[in-house]
Amino acid sequence: MAARLGLAVAQQIDSDTGASLARCLSVFTFALLDSIPSMPGGHLRINAPHVVHETIDGETILIHLGTGAYYSLEGVGAHVWGLAVAGGEEGEILAEVQSRYDEDPQIVGEAVEALLRRLLEEELLAQAEMTATDAGEGGAPADGEPDGARPSETTPSEEPPRPAGSAPSLPAEFVAPVLNKYTDMQEFMLIDPIHDVEEEAGWPHVKAG
């Protein structure tokens, strides 16, 4: 599918003070552009263990423990996330959402594709590579890390299904999905810089004088 959707940062919202609502929340909306190439096909997986997520009352909350950013998705976006979590292949996800609406399939497909791209760019999703089982004996482990480096990492087939009770319901009318991004807590993930280490005394004793 020809990708004609791009990303526009629409506004920033300060969720902490509630006054200007202008600093912390970046709402990403999707506008028609010509510059984004088609995504490679293939299965998707959650970028575990960096990303934790919950879907509740049709709203999905995503937390990236590596970057300190967190996100929310509603409606079609939450539905797409659920399909991706279930290990859906990108084409399958597009087709599934297209089948739910009378809207022009190209419009629906481009909006969903743009969301998937955004989820990949934010490293909330990752392309699932072939597992050792898929590739046969001696195949490369997923994401190229040494065996055992990430004991909690899972491939789509290993990812347990999410509780069905929290599955979001789709809105009757198609609304292009929006990924809400919040960055007001990234300070918690920063590590203080340490300088002027006194080697003889051992880190982190600060060099005298």
> Measured at the alpha carbon of residue 56, what is the angle toward residues 54 and 57, in degrees to the nearest 5?
160
Minimum CB distance to other proteins smaller for 205 or for 207:
205
Rounded to 10 degrees, the C-alpha dihedral 57/29/126/66 comes to: -80
Minimum CB distance to other proteins smaller for 13 or for 120:
13
Stretch that binds other proteins, among 2-10, 93-101, 131-139, 148-156 (CB under 8 A): 148-156
- By the rule CB under 8 A, 28 interacts with other proteins: no
Nearest CA to 154 out of 96, 162, 138 is that of: 162
- By the rule CB under 8 A, 144 interacts with other proteins: no
Cβ distance 155 to 142 under 8 Å?
yes
Provide the mask over 71-110, with x wherever binding to other proteins is found by CB under 8 A and - wherever it is not: -x-x------------------------------------
Among 34, 37, 188, 208, binds other proteins (CB under 8 A): 188
Distance CA 164, CA 147 (A): 32
Q: How far is CA 79 from CA 95, 145, 167, 199, in A?
A: 13, 30, 8, 54
Among 22, 32, 33, 201, binds other proteins (CB under 8 A): 201
- By the rule CB under 8 A, 63 interacts with other proteins: yes
Distance CA 50, CA 145 (A): 15
Could you list the residues that contact other proteins (CB under 8 A)?
15-19, 49-50, 52-54, 56-59, 61, 63, 65-66, 68, 70, 72, 74, 145-146, 149-152, 166, 182, 184-185, 188-189, 191-194, 201-205
